[in-house]
Chains A and B, each alone.
Chain A
């Protein structure tokens, strides 16, 4: 049974929510509410590489704001 998140031949996107959390998402599925495509469609590994590059602070944006008083970064 093919797994929708583990198919190296399928096409994926990287999506991000308002907390700046990043996720892999199958390109053929509609993007759920509250998420924006920030990369892709692309291969699985390329999408994961992108995530690794850009999602450097894994704390939710609202928590960062609460801890530092900073506005969330995009």
Chain B
């Protein structure tokens, strides 16, 4: 034989077999890949072990069949090859002489039918589990099972590296022919080496060029697996379905009519399905191609591994018709047929996008129909059935097997996909094919893949939240509680104020009357400037009682920004706490045309029954909350009373709130969650306790307060939870919170590990993971996270739960059609919570608050959240992320665009970019990069005047110029890591205490080294990191500082001085409490 590709050198191993070596061949690219995987995990089960089970009817001579098997091996040299790597790493297949077929015989004819079936199954499984040693040929073995005098089953177990599915009909035909007659006219063998020669003579450059063009611009690979498959191999599981005969016929006719192949039709359908599954318009998956180049004579008779797996890239245009997509795909694929020989590894290298796909499609067109089987028989022996178990190592593999009814199989990795997921997928594929047959001209984007049952489940069953309730104003509900329990405490605060229900109602009514007397009319907006004290509930109820709407202001917000939003929002009055009078007047003076200020009169109390006439109604505004806006201006989300009431009642209903509950109001007033924290306890006869801003941002202080006050419900953001459990981990004892019933977390993704750590300390306080939008009246879902945290994870996430009362959740695709459970979609929220819009912003309102096509109420609206989410099989929502540039830092919604706009507006700043990264403690923070003349400190000061604190980046980095990509665009990835740009400021520490303080500073801030004058806040410090820092100082130096100490003297020098003052004093509250006078 003459093989140009054969290498004369002997292999590095198998010296004993040297004299037996007949030939040494190179490997095809796919063989190379299989060899790599097989050697990679030698301990694991080898998924490339394939099986073929034949049912043979007729007289069978076992010895003759065995001899036939030996002859087949003799004919096809590559079936006698072993595989190894040379010392250079290059693989080789070494063909040996005189290899016989391993042969085993089993007689099961004495067993009953069911026992026999079980015995065959066991045999198959055991044989499949037995690994081949790839270095020792042959990589196949036969087992002949006698099931009756004239019936046998022949099991061929082989390693995929020696042959593909197109080979076995050749092999079986030869086997049976030789069984029938020793001198059967089999014709010449086309050796595998001929295929290899042909392969190596192909034009590689042209193929590289073709694949580069085919994959150009692909944004990345297409992953169907929700999680990265664990390393190693797992035997796939299978789901399958048969299409109805009529559908099979119609699809066949459609394919013929449009001159497309059934394979193209299947690939096109899979592309559409994948695009829907992963929400992408550019997908890629693998296709198994025969690799049998028709120009090679006798190619169909090769027994060997000729197939290849190549990527199929499909761009999806939702407006294109199904049939047009198929035709286009066929054209695109036709251009690649000549290049199917290029190895996948090489193709992926050309694409430069890493692993391109994890799903694979094969159209099996080797003969296993009746006619095909009949052609295999010889003599009296006929093949009556064949059952190939081919190996698939992709997380998802689709196989179509032609027949009167097209058979679809999905093999899936059971460690990656649930059976239900695979089953739903195959049903969706069948529906898609049905849609193709029904209307091939249907635009791709509008094909409905939901079954009627799924549609009903996602739209109706899971949104079955309707509650009928007589509408009552919040003020009226609080008065009812006052009538029921006049002397019960309604509200308390950190300044020692305490108001009974009678006091609260009397003051609120007096305020309502004062507002009306001052000229406020129902429907007006009244802004409130106050620290969080017991005056806040009075102000909220007073404003609502007057028929007006409440607009909370940030008591430390920049004057110009506050004045701007008052002016642009058309605010009618500014209501101020007495100690805020001067600031209120300053703000009012900055409003063009001025703004009347009214100061809350603590002494005013209305006589019983002296109150304004009821005003408002369900559609009247309750409050307006300003959130960050992408265009550089904050937007005011309006919430009507029906929405607010519904949310309050949802909290009461889900948490079972009653007059024994004490809820802490720790959210910033400008944060809409403060609304329910204040009002939900008051409509049920409970108490609300308002804490100072200092307490609210200090986990140690807040939980101490919660313990002292017997708080039953506490809500915070995950980053705060992290700071608290981190603190407790440093040795600070967590306070006992026996009365805390509910621990609500919202505003950010909730890491499961925090829940576990929480429950380890506070098992009695159940975690609620809440999700919602200010625009939709605060929370829209609640998930109850039980102590078995890990059991509630899906793809590593905790759910955010089910819709609250009178809320609907819709997950929609780009055509605004509902997506199936498990598939990501954009979240839209419908129902009572959907607010009227953005204050004085019709443009933005009209594109976010849109018609709700699923509501039974004509003319109703839904809110487009911009969030990506997925429905679990049990109807709980999983939050997946934002679709835009909005980020959340410590629970605050921030549009990076607004911060960038403000940064660019600082005099002297050239360019500006704001990015989010994680600080040393794993918390998210904003980093501002800028060019121009000002220093970082100047920029920080300036931004503090135009933005609220939470939007001012933690760190500023001045760059001489921005890194650019080759296209001249900003290269975000090349922005310097903040941790790498620092020189210690001030003198270096001298005393042991100073050294420790500097070390703690550096470690908490993630700096290499800190100097005595390094400012905590200039290096990205924030209140939660402050807790960490003071906690460490407590454990390492034995002195308990409050975070307020750090706020006042934020450098190692300052802290060292405080330590010196406090050294003699015992632990807390040496320097605490220190809350400012807020009377």
Q: Is B377 an interface residue (CB 8 A)?
A: no
**Is the Cβ of A22 less than 8 Å from the Cβ of B851?**
no
Task: Assess whether B836 is in contact with A48, with CB atoms less than 8 Å apart.
Answer: no
Whether B849 sits at the interface, judged by CB under 8 Å, is: yes
Which B residues lie within 8 Å of A62 (CB)? 619
Residues of chain B contacted by A60 (CB below 8 angstroms): 619, 836
Contact of B849 among A6, A23, A34 (CB under 8 A): A23
Contact B859 A67 (CB under 8 A): no
Shortest Cβ distance from A69 into chain B, in angstroms? Answer: 12
- A33 and B859 form a contact (CB under 8 A): yes
In the complex the two chains form, is A51's CB within 8 Å of B859's CB? Answer: no
Per the bound structure, the CA–CA distance linking A73 and B264 in Å amounts to 57
**Given A2-B281, A35-B851, A63-B620, do A58 and B859 touch, yes or no (CB 8 Å)?**
no
Beta-carbon contacts under 8 Å, B264-285 to A: 279-281
Residues 813-851 (chain B) with a chain A CB within 8 angstroms: 814-816, 826, 836-837, 839-840, 842-843, 845-847, 849-851
Contact with B along A58-73 (1 / 0, CB 8 A): 1110110011000000
Asked whether A48 lies within 8 Å of B846 as measured between CB atoms, the reply is yes
Whole-angstrom distance from the CB of A29 to the nearest CB of chain B? Answer: 6
Asked whether A5 lies within 8 Å of B850 as measured between CB atoms, the reply is: yes
Cα distance, A60 to B850, chains bound together (Å): 14
A-B contact pairs, 11 of them (CB 8 A): A2-B281, A4-B814, A6-B847, A17-B859, A23-B850, A33-B858, A34-B859, A35-B858, A48-B846, A60-B619, A63-B523
Cβ A21 vs Cβ B816 within 8 A: no
Nearest CB of B to A7, in Å: 9
Cross-chain contact of A21 among B617, B840, B849, B853 (Cβ < 8 A): B849
- Contact assessment for B815 and A29 in the assembled complex, using a CB-CB cutoff below 8 Å: yes
Q: Return chain A residues, CB-CB under 8 Å to B883.
A: 3
Digit string of B845-877 for contact with A (CB within 8 Å is 1, else 0)?
111011111000111110010000000000000
Contact A31 B851 (CB under 8 A): yes
Please state if B814 and A23 are interface contacts (CB–CB under 8 Å).
no
Residues of B within 8 A of A5 (CB): 847, 850, 864
Q: Which of A1, A18, A52, A66 contacts B843 (CB 8 A)?
A: A52
Interface string of A34-68 (1 = CB under 8 A from B): 11000000000000100110011011101100110
B658 within 8 A of A: no
- In the complex, are the beta carbons of B851 and A23 less than 8 A apart? yes
With beta carbons under 8 angstroms apart, the residue of B280, B850, B851 that contacts A1 is B280
Select one of A1, A3, A4, A18 contacting B859, CB under 8 A: A18
Q: How far is the CA of A19 from the CA of B836 in the complex (A)?
A: 10
B522 is an interface residue with CB less than 8 A from chain A: yes
Contact of A34 among B523, B847, B857 (CB under 8 A): B857
Cross-chain contact A35 with B836 (CB below 8 angstroms): no
Chain B residues in 8 Å Cβ range of A25 = 850-851
- The 8 Å CB contact of B815, one of A4, A24, A51, A63, is A4
Known A-B contacts A66-B617, A66-B619; the reply to A32 vs B842 at CB < 8 A is no
The complex places the Cα of A60 from the Cα of B620 at a distance, in Å, of 9
Of chain A, the residue at the smallest CB distance from B824 is: A1
- Cβ-based interface call for B318 (8 A): yes
Residues of A within 8 A of B280 (CB): 1
Complex: chain A residue closest to B826, CB-CB: A3
Cross-interface CB contact of B814 among A3, A21, A56, cutoff 8 Å:
A3
Contact between B522 and A58, CB atoms less than 8 A apart:
no
Q: Is the CB of A19 within 8 A of B814?
A: no
Q: How far is the CB of A48 from chain B (nearest CB, A)?
A: 5
User: Nearest residue in A to B848 (C-beta to C-beta)?
Assistant: A5
Contact assessment for B846 and A22 in the assembled complex, using a CB-CB cutoff below 8 Å:
yes
Task: Given A1-B279, A25-B851, verify A58-B619 contact (CB < 8 Å).
Answer: no
Pairs of residues from A and B, 3 with the lowest C-beta to C-beta distance, nearest first: A34-B858, A34-B859, A17-B859
User: Cβ of B861 and Cβ of A23 under 8 Å apart?
Assistant: yes
Query: What is the CA–CA distance of A47 and B869 in the complex, to the nearest angstrom?
Result: 29
Measured between beta carbons, the chain B residues less than 8 angstroms from A67 are 522-523, 620
Tell me whether A55 and B846 are in contact in the complex, defined as CB-CB below 8 angstroms, given that A2-B318, A26-B816 are known contacts: yes
User: Which B616-672 residues have a C-beta within 8 angstroms of A?
Assistant: 617, 619-620
Complexed CA–CA distance, A46 and B991 (Å)? 69
Residues of B within 8 A of A29 (CB): 815-816, 853
CA distance A34 to B842 in the complex (A): 19
Q: For chain B residues 307-325, which have a beta carbon within 8 Å of chain A?
A: 318
Q: Tell me the complex Cα distance, A4–B815, Å.
A: 6
User: How far, in angstroms, from A11 to B103 measured CA to CA in the complex?
Assistant: 70
Q: What is the CA–CA distance of A12 and B814 in the complex, to the nearest angstrom?
A: 14
> Which of B619, B842, B845 touches A56 (beta carbons < 8 Å)?
B842
Q: How far is the CA of A21 from the CA of B837 in the complex (A)?
A: 9
List chain A residues, Cβ under 8 A from B851.
Answer: 15, 17, 23, 25, 31-32, 34-35
Cα-based distance from A66 to B826 in the complex (angstroms): 36
In the complex, what residues of B have CB within 8 A of residue A58's CB? Answer: 836-837, 839-840, 842, 845
Q: Which residues of A contact B846 (CB under 8 A)?
A: 14, 22-24, 48, 51, 55
| B860 and A34 within 8 A (CB) | yes
A6 to B860: give the CA distance in the assembly, Å.
Answer: 21
In the complex, which residues of chain A have a beta carbon less than 8 angstroms from the beta carbon of B858?
17, 32-35
Most B-side CB within 10 Å, residue of A19, A21, A35: A21
Flag if B523 contacts A4 (CB, 8 Å).
no
- What CA separation (Å) do A14 and B842 show in the bound complex? 12
CB distance from A51 to the nearest CB of B (A): 4
Query: Can you name 8 extra interface pairs (CB under 8 A) apart from A23-B849, A58-B839?
Result: A2-B318, A4-B814, A25-B850, A32-B851, A33-B859, A55-B845, A58-B845, A60-B836
Residue-wise, chain B 520-562 has the 8 Å CB interface mask toward A (1 for contact) of 0011000000000000000000000000000000000000000
What mask results when residues 278 to 303 of chain B are scored 1 for a CB within 8 Å of chain A, else 0? 01110000000000000000000000
**Which of B843, B859, B864 is the one whose CB lies under 8 Å from A19?**
B859
| Chain B residues, CB < 8 A from A19 | 859
Shortest Cβ distance from residue B897 to the other chain A in the assembled complex, whole angstroms: 14
Q: Once bound together, how far apart are the Cα atoms of A60 and B846, in whole Å?
A: 13
Q: Which of B279, B814, B842 contacts A51 (CB 8 A)?
A: B842
Bound CA span A23–B847, Å? 6
Shortest B496–chain A CB gap in Å is: 40
- Contact residues in A for B617 (Cβ distance below 8 Å): 63, 66
Known: A1-B281, A2-B318. A32 touches B619 (CB 8 A): no
Which B residues lie within 8 Å of A6 (CB)? 847
Cα of A5 to Cα of B840 in the assembled complex, Å: 21
Q: Which residues of A contact B279 (CB under 8 A)?
A: 1
Q: Of all chain B residues, which has the CB nearest A50?
A: B846
Residues in B whose Cβ lies below 8 Å from that of A63: 523, 617, 619-620
Q: How far is the CB of A13 from chain B (nearest CB, A)?
A: 11
Complex CA–CA separation, A63 to B845 (angstroms): 18
Residues of B within 8 A of A55 (CB): 842, 845-846
Instruction: Give residues of chain B (1005-1037) contacting chain A, Cβ–Cβ below 8 Å.
Output: none
Give the complex CA separation of A58 and B281 in angstroms: 37
Q: How far is the CB of A71 from chain B (nearest CB, A)?
A: 16
* A24-B816 in contact given A34-B860, A58-B837, A60-B836 (Cβ < 8 Å): no
Task: Select from chain A the residue with minimum beta-carbon distance to B868.
Answer: A1
Chain B residue nearest to A22 (CB atoms) is: B846
Q: How far is the CA of A7 from the CA of B862 in the complex (A)?
A: 19
CB closest chain-A residue, reference B443: A28
A34 to B814, CA, bound (A): 22
**Residues of chain B in range 859-915 having any CB-CB distance to chain A below 8 Å:** 859-861, 864, 883
B840's nearest neighbour on chain A, judged by CB, is: A58
Closest to A15 in B: B851
A47 to chain B: closest CB distance in Å?
8
Query: CB within 8 A of A22: which of B619, B826, B842, B852?
Result: B842
Contacts of A30 in B (CB 8 A): 853
* B415, chain A: closest CB distance, angstroms: 28
A residues within 8 A CB of B839?
58
Cα A24 to Cα B843 with chains together (Å): 9
